[in-house]
Structure 1
């Protein structure tokens, strides 16, 4: 797999879109936050970048936009999210769209938070034409249909009434609910076979019925998979801290990029547009 750093240093004018997933950002993982800020710096340096996709689980947990929006100006100035918002806002000013999809960890993320930097929430599945191929973008948890218990839980938590109920609870109550859900999830996952938490082949085939390729995150198994005889499944994500006990650690992730010939127009659907996976790394 090629390195993203090599792409942006050798072909910066060709990068039109960047796609990422499963960052699981939180104040408890400052290295991941710094890695995301470094990626945004890279994006800000790309002169032809037109779109940044964040395909779910941007945050480890999201208890509602009011957790940040209700803070005073002084509190926001010191908050770990503020530098992130500032860089995203500059990216949007530079002409790059920022499209955000819900994941299973941040399904309470709302448009009011995205408005802070000019971003837009998008629904899954999202259709994207790259070259002459139609890509289906989604977070990926809906494809894990062998996990019946999770799919039932997902259906309940994605319901508008459930979300309205949660968002109208006091923050302390939401924190307690989130912690309880996290503990139960860890216990349940520890007893599940690995295949149950991966995508189901039939679900993938069905998802590809009207598409040429499938692109998702969630499973933390980044790779290029041959889904059918003529269609591929691309898996993003797995942002993680490596060698954390050594003097210099490294954050590693697999991200996607759409490139065009630098002399072509800005259309993602032009015939020369290509999608590739890249390894993003940062020393911390």
Structure 2
């Protein structure tokens, strides 16, 4: 009997945390009902609200996420990870525990006959000068080594302060500054030689067509919002791309 599984599914920006149980439940439901029927699942950043280091993987909530991902892998699904701005400290120990493959910031995948550029999207928000400076600092190996050498509790306290400052800072920024810059997107298309892109980060789900290119933006997940937010993108074996809401319905 031929394998009817979809070629790949893509999600991002779930911001999983123990204090948001409905999002966690929606994620588990997606894994059990959707992801296990795919050939591959791509996690395109900010799966977690924050990640303080792989030594936090033993925390019970994180163990539940790891176990859920391993069950998907055990069903024959290949799992891939691209770091987001909240969980860029995920490393090899977490990847081994969850059974997933870490990918570079920009990855080109061959799926259903398409060459697709995959990324989180924060590096393309180049008009947000303050964020780009912060990003350049925290992505340096020396900064990360120094940070990860701190006790876990201290790291979590620092991250909490960063998150609070980020919330205050965002209130003073225009929507345009916090969105991806058209030139930065054009550069990714040119560098990768692709004409299809999937990313997250901006929380502005949409399909953008510019010339021959198609750029799909993933939604963030918040089942308790009105209306509920969330969903995924799928590519089937023929290269057809579809956007889905939390219930699985196709989004126009």
The answer to whether the superposition gives a TM-score over 0.5 is yes
| Preserved CA contact (<8 Å) 1:142 1:151 | yes
Map 1:30-179 onto structure 2 (within 5 A): 30-43=21-34, 45-46=36-37, 49-69=38-58, 79-179=60-160
Residues 137, 214 of structure 1: 8 Å contact kept: yes
Alpha-carbon distance in 2 for matches of 1:97, 1:179: 33
1:197 aligns with 2:197: no
Post-superposition CA distance 1:176-213 (Å, at most 9, x none): 21111111111111001110000111111111112111
CA–CA separation in structure 1 for the residues paired with 2:236 and 2:131: 36
TM-score by length of 2: 0.91
Alignment counterpart, residue 21 of structure 1, candidates 12, 19, 31: 12
Larger Rg: 1
Query: 1:45 Cα shift?
Result: 4.9
Q: For residues 238 and 82 of structure 1, what CA distance do their matches in structure 2 show?
A: 22
By how many angstroms is 1:163 displaced? Answer: 0.7
Query: What number of residue pairs does the alignment pair up?
Result: 244
* DSSP-derived class of the 1:214 partner: strand
> Please, which runs of 5 or more residues in structure 1 have no aligned partner?
1-11, 70-75, 245-249, 261-271
Indicate the residue corresponding to 2:247 in structure 1. 281
Shift of 1:103: 0.3
Shift of 1:237: 2.3
Which structure 1 residue ranges, 4+ long, deviate > 6 Å from structure 2?
A: none
In the TM superposition, what is the alpha-carbon distance from 1:83 to its structure 2 partner?
2.9
Partner of 2:195: 212
Conserved 8 A contact 2:36-2:75: no
* Structure 2 segments unaligned to the other structure (5+ residues): none
Given the two structures, how large is their TM-score scaled by the length of structure 1?
0.81
Offset, 1:68: 2.5
Where does 1:205-244 land on structure 2 (aligned, <5 Å)? 205-209=186-190, 210-226=193-209, 228-242=210-224
